[in-house]
Structure 1
Amino acid sequence: MEREGRSVLAADPDWWRGAVIYQIYPRSFQDSNGDGIGDLAGITGRLDHIASLGADAIWISPFFKSPMKDFGYDVSDYCDVDPMFGSLADFDQLVTRAHDLGLRVMIDLVLSHTADTHPWFTESRRDRTNPKADWYVWADPKPDGTPPNNWLSVFGGSAWAWDSRREQYFLHNFLTSQPDLNLHHAPVQEALLDVARFWLKRGVDGFRLDTINFYFADKYLRDNPSLPKELRNDSIAPSVNPYNHQLHLFSKNQPENLEFLRKFRAVLNPYNAAAVGEVGDAQRGLEIMAEYTSGGDKVQMCYPFEMLQPTRLTAPMVVETFARMRAAAPDAWPCWSYSNHDTVRHITRWGLTDAAAKTYATLLVCLRGSICLYQGEELGLPEADLTLDELQDPYGIQFWPEFKGRDGARTPMVWVTDNGNGGFTSARPWLPVKAPHLPLSVAAQDRDNTSILAHYRRALAFRRAHPVLRNGTMDSIDAVGGVTSFRRRGDEDLFCAFNLGDTPAEIRFPEGNWQTIGTDLGSQSATGGSVTLAPWGVHLAKRA
């Protein structure tokens, strides 16, 4: 079925460049039927909030049929809606309403693996000669019966699971119940491209591609080398997970991925659709992002993990990040985010005050690249503090108490304050709504012009009012003490400076006649050729 809903939006192949994309975790956005779980109809009913925020698009995390062992990231049918979220008709209504509001719709595709209940895997594991025998990564054991190599799972332990039917191991980079597809096999690639075609024909405007750098494994199944302790990074897996002990040279990031991404882009182009890939790599994330987005023939954008790190983003880190990206590929296009469904919310992770949160929000809208905002980020929600008995996330349960998992960022949105469940549901929610979240509800902040929600609305309006922030160059990137500054140039010439620290700092701005702008974002006025920025102060100026 070919839908016409996309026609209400301009047929712009570059709509994604500099776009603000709002991530929706459907289980936790809005429950419409009183079962305690968010659903598609609930999303449709709350789209006005996202439109009023000033976003350009939404990204909906998986809602496909699934056994839900990893809450939708284990897909058993790529082309249907899980009944807990509604139906394909509900999805069609969501797309129509979003497009009417000027919002494009991106959905989450999990192409590296399926659920072990997917019919493809059910057939593949039956024996070694069936038509789908080669659709997953199977390997014989070593002579002593142990797994074929030393690869580790992101969720802990070996990445290989034994299957007695075939008397072989299958690869799973995540849960054992999430077997990895074999994209070296051409029919698998074509089947996945058909999935994309199915949703494009239903009216979606693009995709978020989960674990985009995990699509291919080394065809020779070579061992990964060890990684020295001083080079380990826990942005992909918690420090208690031995996954961080390896350099994942062969289990992901394979060169064959580039040609598949070219095929994927060819499917997108006739629809003016776009893709943003998740690059899960702690060592080479920026470089891989540059490789996947440069040249105009692969995916349009990727988000690396540099701004999802546990360590608070500092002025020198901004300089280093953009220098690495520019060195890797000048035309690389990132999609920056501070929070998502897999990370501790950045308000808590970085220990931010309201003033600091507002400054980081203003910085985000001034960076070159596109932007992902995670639901509740615009409210300044902190990480919810859950007990072990409240957890649903298998990752958190596995590594408790050293790592509390991902549920603290997945608790329901709070729409109103005077309701124990924040207006999310009339039933018991699948994850609890914690009391500290209730005063931060949408309804409460709607009435407060000094709120974080009001600031996000102003920041997104500022980005929209200055197209140079969406598609202009970014240069003269500098760090002096706690202050980072840069220029955005195109039809306008803007100077942006941010004090990412708790002490005042003086900065000089470039020669010329500069006019202070963005005063509703707290932009400080300047006299002469310098300005003293207060703690968490901002100076935005336009060259006259």
Structure 2
Amino acid sequence: MTNHEWWKGAVIYQIYPRSFQDSNNDGIGDLQGIIQRLDYIQSLGVDAVWISPFFKSPMKDFGYDISDYRDIDPMFGDISDFDQLIDEAHKRNIKIIIDQVLSHTSNEHPWFIESREDKSNSKADWYVWADANEDGSPPNNWLSIFGGVAWQWEPRRCQYYLHNFLTEQPDLNFHNPEVRKAVLDNVKFWLDKGVDGFRLDAINFCFHDKLLRDNPAKPKALRQGRGFSEDNPYAFQYHYYNNTQPENLAFMEEIRALLDQYPGTVSLGEISSEDSLQTMAEYTADGNKLHMGYSFELLTNDYSAAYIRETVARLEQVMTEGWPCWAFSNHDVERVASRWSKTGEPIDAQVKMLTALLASLRGSVCMYQGEELGLGEATLAFEDLQDPYGITFWPNFKGRDGCRTPMPWSNQTNNAGFTEGKPWLPVAEPHEDRAVEQQQTTADSTLAFYRHFMAWRKTQPTLLLGDIEFINTPEPVLAFYRRYEGKALLCIFNLSADPQNILLADKVTKIHTELRHHNATLHGDQLNLEAFGCFFASI
């Protein structure tokens, strides 16, 4: 246990800084706000925090459009605040992982401002430029995730540039070695600052097909999954050519070679491709690419035991060398407490069970801020929306603001203790009853269970590092073994609100009744699982 890499089996707590804690009452969370809450983060028993972008940005996509990779946006603080954050987190044995958005920049980045001027400047080939077709139309049929074509006309060059995301997020040309070097130099800047790793945003989007071939059409019946439904034309194509190109594997090796110069640092790649599980396996293979892969496969609406079992088992089959990282929620999807609740409202027993389930899968874990409180998706009026994605696709898709509303710290203070100013998104009224201060005084709260389970998990090498083997159980029961160094742990979960009875095939040597909310009783070999019950036993 003392010699394994810290990130294997780690719990990584994702902070969306705009919404975590505001220290200067301007309505927007900041780095000093995170520093103020480090004791709370430490109390959760997590190993690291992943902080979404805080770099200088026009904020068209709330920080994922970067105009200066080496500077802090003033709304979040300055570089001295970041230095203090690193120092204070490390004092508490909390690692710091930061987002790196490498595939694209803001259109206000100096690189792009120069590149768009003409075809002969020093940055002329730093972005993906292409001539129009004879009829003036874009060079191919590629589409933007945020709706519409992925090409924007630039009159200065009389060419189109590629943007897989917003128009204000032009894609870099990674076929140019100067671009790769400049990008890695920016990564090195933060390594020298003392960060412990990177969450690499949309990392499979770095390279595009040099021939600019059209993406083939996707049959209507297959236009579902990973957040792209039939109301978004992006779902109409197989995205074979605008991302996940073979050249990207060599770039993953360049990233790893840089990180290997800083022992103990880690890379976590966000991957969304036509076969994300296969791409995760490829991007973490051979010990010379990414340390971990992270995908949207468990961020979907499918909450069946079969889907979870088949998804994890398939990754286990293809990822023979790499290390996975699992999540049920993040800043881009509806919160799991609502998404997987039949009523659409958080159910405490289910929230607790999902915490235990996620933290029991083989791999590392990403937990999104507020997940420990059982926060549900916030409902916002159209006039309160900030997310361009939601504004474009309203009302069929309400965007990502509902999972990004401010963290509730107390129901006794203005704006739930997030800010004294006007919050950038309104505080969700239902969240106030789940605020941190209220849950800390309640022994059976979701927060209390979270802390208790994570502390227990740290004592279980089988959960941190063990292999996983699924057991075929009928819906809605999910069961598996975790095995490590001759020891085995049986983990069983009732995914429903209805009691379930299971006949155990194993002789149990110890039932882990020290866990609160197990909601399970064993009579001989008959296991009775109450609503959303979970059962852990050594065998």
Normalised to the residue count of structure 2, the TM-score between the two structures is: 0.96
2: CA distance, partners of 1:471 / 1:435: 40
Q: Which amino acid aligns with 1:250?
A: Y
Give 3-state SS (helix, strand or coil) of 1:541's partner.
Answer: strand
Aligned-pair CA distance for 1:330: 2.0
**Which of 133, 139, 148 is residue 130 of structure 2 equivalent to?**
139
**Which of 75, 81, 85 is residue 84 of structure 1 equivalent to?**
75
Q: Which amino acid aligns with 1:275?
A: S
Q: Deviations over 1:79-101 (max 9, x none)?
A: 01001100000000000000001
Match of 2:339 in 1: 349
Q: Which amino acid aligns with 1:479?
A: T
Q: Which amino acid aligns with 2:111?
A: W
Q: Does 1:336 align with 2:330?
A: no
Aligned-pair CA distance for 1:518: 4.5
Contact 1:265 1:299 in 2 (8 A): yes
**Which of 522, 528, 535 is residue 531 of structure 2 equivalent to?**
535
**Which of 161, 164, 169 is residue 173 of structure 1 equivalent to?**
164
Q: Deviations over 1:18-44 (max 9, x none)?
A: 100000001111111111111101101
Q: 1:413–1:198: structure 2 CA closer, same or farther, 3 Å change rule?
A: same
**Which of 437, 443, 466 is residue 460 of structure 2 equivalent to?**
466
Match of 1:5 in 2: none
Aligned-pair CA distance for 1:12: 6.8
Contact 1:13 1:273 in 2 (8 A): no
Give 3-state SS (helix, strand or coil) of 2:425's partner.
Answer: coil
Q: Equivalent residues in 2 for 1:241-390 (5 A)?
A: 241-271=232-262, 272-281=264-273, 283-311=274-302, 313-351=303-341, 352-390=346-384
Aligned-pair CA distance for 1:510: 3.9
Q: 1:432–1:277: structure 2 CA closer, same or farther, 3 Å change rule?
A: same
Give 3-state SS (helix, strand or coil) of 1:465's partner.
Answer: coil
Runs of 4+ with >4 A deviation? 10-13
Aligned-pair CA distance for 1:527: 3.0
Give 3-state SS (helix, strand or coil) of 2:50's partner.
Answer: strand
**Which of 511, 514, 518 is residue 509 of structure 2 equivalent to?**
514
Match of 1:500 in 2: 495
- Comparing 233-242 with 263-272, greater Cα deviation is found at 233-242
Contact 2:521 2:529 in 1 (8 A): no
Match of 2:476 in 1: 482
Q: Deviations over 1:384-438 (max 9, x none)?
A: 1100110111111111111111111111101111123011111111111121111
Give 3-state SS (helix, strand or coil) of 1:453's partner.
Answer: helix
Q: Deviations over 1:434-459 (max 9, x none)?
A: 21111110000000011011111112
- Structure 1 runs not aligned, ≥5 long: 1-9
- Structure 2 runs not aligned, ≥5 long: none
2: CA distance, partners of 1:147 / 1:285: 28
**Which of 41, 44, 56 is residue 35 of structure 2 equivalent to?**
44
Q: 1:477–1:195: structure 2 CA closer, same or farther, 3 Å change rule?
A: farther
Contact 1:112 1:181 in 2 (8 A): yes
1: CA distance, partners of 2:102 / 2:228: 20
Q: Which amino acid aligns with 2:537?
A: A
Aligned-pair CA distance for 1:239: 3.4
2: CA distance, partners of 1:439 / 1:329: 42
Contact 1:319 1:479 in 2 (8 A): no
Report % sequence identity: 53
1: CA distance, partners of 2:253 / 2:4: 16
Count of aligned pairs? 532
Match of 1:7 in 2: none
Contact 1:163 1:169 in 2 (8 A): yes
Q: Deviations over 1:80-134 (max 9, x none)?
A: 1001100000000000000001100000000010000000001111111111111
Aligned-pair CA distance for 1:513: 4.0
